[in-house]
Amino acid sequence: MDFVQLLPWAIFGMVIVGGIALINKLNSDQSRTTERLDELRNPHLRNNPDAAQSASTLLEKAAPTLSKALTPKSELEENKLKVRLANAGYNSENASSIYLSLKVALGLLGLLLGSSYGFYRFGFAQNGWTALVIGGGIGFYLPELVLRFLASSRISRIFLSLPDALDLLVVCVEAGLGLDAAMRRVSEELEETAPDVCSEFALCNLQLQMGRPRREVLHDLGIRSGVDDMRALAAILIQADKFGSSIAQALRVQSDSMRVKRSQMAEEQAAMTAVKMIFPLVLFIFPGIFVVLVGPAAIMMINGLLAN
């Protein structure tokens, strides 16, 4: 092997050694005071000191450094990022830094893999540099695609399970429970069938118990879920709490409107079935029917022409 073939492997080894040195540096810079605070926050670290060396712990420590270059410059951008992460179900305080650090880490890993493959396969030609750029781009934007997929999946699950949760919430409120107790009851009963909605209600109960105003908690519920019906529900509850009207009646009206909307969506999907069936019919069913019906007649006509 000549120098051109050995150079990508040398770069690969240097990057690996540099990454290990960076992780060790971030881990060794932690003072004993910080370690003690971590042990107070997490009692498992007192009984298992090696747990502090886990990959998740190292990622949390390295996240502020790795995500520094991608940290939002304005509060509006930071709030948008937090809302997107909350729509995917990540509500922790360090979710933004971990997400940005993942983008940086996977981008560097993509650059490393792309450069290793491109330079080894094509050398320092244009194709080698193209592979480097493509690998870095894929690694950098992969967390973005995964986040969008997780957010859309969670929003869809909340939208489908919200009517059932709202019906049970109406029953609990009309039975005499308060809104907080009714949400707690719903989160306990539907924990297996609607985990996303129950987690949102449980988080609301936790915030209410910690003393946050109900209006702020309900507003955050609507924004955090990312579902229009949940925003409408939060707005109705805020309005009912503000004007002192009946919460049970407000929930009943919202439940009826969501049930009507659900039936209208089912009718719309049923009406679109005929249009959607055109392409499978034309591509797969009509050719078979055409062969079965016209095939024997075509064979008889060909035999008659050959006989004449």
104 or 60: which carries more pLDDT confidence? 104
| Percent of the residues in the chain that have a pLDDT greater than 70, as a whole number | 76
pLDDT at 34 over 80: no
Q: How many residues are there in the chain?
A: 308
Q: Are 224 and 200 in contact (CB under 8 A)?
A: yes
Q: What is the pLDDT of residues 240-259, one digit of tens each?
A: 878 777 788 878 888 788 87
Mean pLDDT of 146-175: 86
Contact yes or no for 161/179 (Cβ under 8 A):
no
> How far is it, in rounded angstroms, from Cα 33 to Cα 19?
26
DSSP string spanning the chain?
--HHHHHHHHHHHHHHHHHHHHHHHHHHT--HHHHHHHHHH-THHHH-GGGGGSHHHHHHHHHHHHTTTT--SSHHHHHHHHHHHHHTT--STTHHHHHHHHHHHHHHHHHHHHHHHHHHHHTTSHHHHHHHHHHHHHHHHHHHHHHHHHHHHHHHHHHHHHHHHHHHHHHHHHTT--HHHHHHHHHHHTTTT-HHHHHHHHHHHHHHHTT--HHHHHHHHHHHH--HHHHHHHHHHHHHHHHT--HHHHHHHHHHHHHHHHHHHHHHHHHTHHHHTHHHIIIIIHHHHHHHHHHHHHHHHHHHHHH-
Which residue ranges make up each domain of the chain?
Answer: 154-262
pLDDT value of residue 246: 77
Radius of gyration of the chain (CA): 29
Q: What value does the mean pLDDT take over residues 41-47? A: 52
Percent of the chain with pLDDT over 90: 0
CA distance 15 to 6: 15
The answer, yes or no, to whether residue 14 has pLDDT greater than 80, is: no
Question: If pLDDT is split at 50, 70 and 90, which confidence band does 158 have?
Answer: confident
Average pLDDT over every residue of 105-118: 80
Instruction: Report how far Cα 256 is from the mean position of its chain's Cα atoms.
Output: 30
How sure is the predictor about 12, in pLDDT bands with cuts at 50, 70 and 90? low
